Structure 1
Amino acid sequence: MGNSDQHPRELPWFKSSASSGSGGCVEVAVVAASVAVRDSKVADGPRFYVGADAFAALISGVVGGTI
C-alpha cells in the first residue's frame, strides 16, 4: 500500500491479470484509505482518487453484471 506522501510514479501500480495487450487498460494503486486510478498508457498523466468502499462497490457491480 502506498501513502499520500509518495510521488504518483512511486506508487505500487498494478492492472488486472485479465487486461489485454491492446493498451486500453487502467492501473490502480492503494493509497491510504483510497484507490488511485490512472490510464496505463499515460503514467505521468491525470489520475483520480476514490474511496476504498466506493471502489469496492464499483468492482462488485462490474463483476456482478449490474454496471
Structure 2
Amino acid sequence: MENAIRHTAGECCLVCEETSLVGIHICGRFICNECERKVVETDTSHEDYQYYLKKLRKLSLSRLA
C-alpha cells in the first residue's frame, strides 16, 4: 500500500505576506508562527512596533467586510 503524501500550498501571512504552513488564524486571517512570535515579543518602544500595529489593523478591517 502506498503512503499518501499530502501537499498543501500554505497560507499567506497577514504581516509578512509570505506563504507558510504553520501559524494561527485570528478573525479569519492567518499569521505565521514567526510573525506571531515577533508581534508578541516586540517592545512597544521598538521602531518595529508601529509596523506590526499597521499590519494588525487589517484584522479589524476584515471584520467589517
Fold similarity call, TM over 0.5: no
Structure number with the higher strand fraction is 1
TM-score of the aligned structures, taking structure 1 as reference length: 0.33
User: Larger Rg: 1 or 2?
Assistant: 2
Structure number with the higher helix fraction is 2
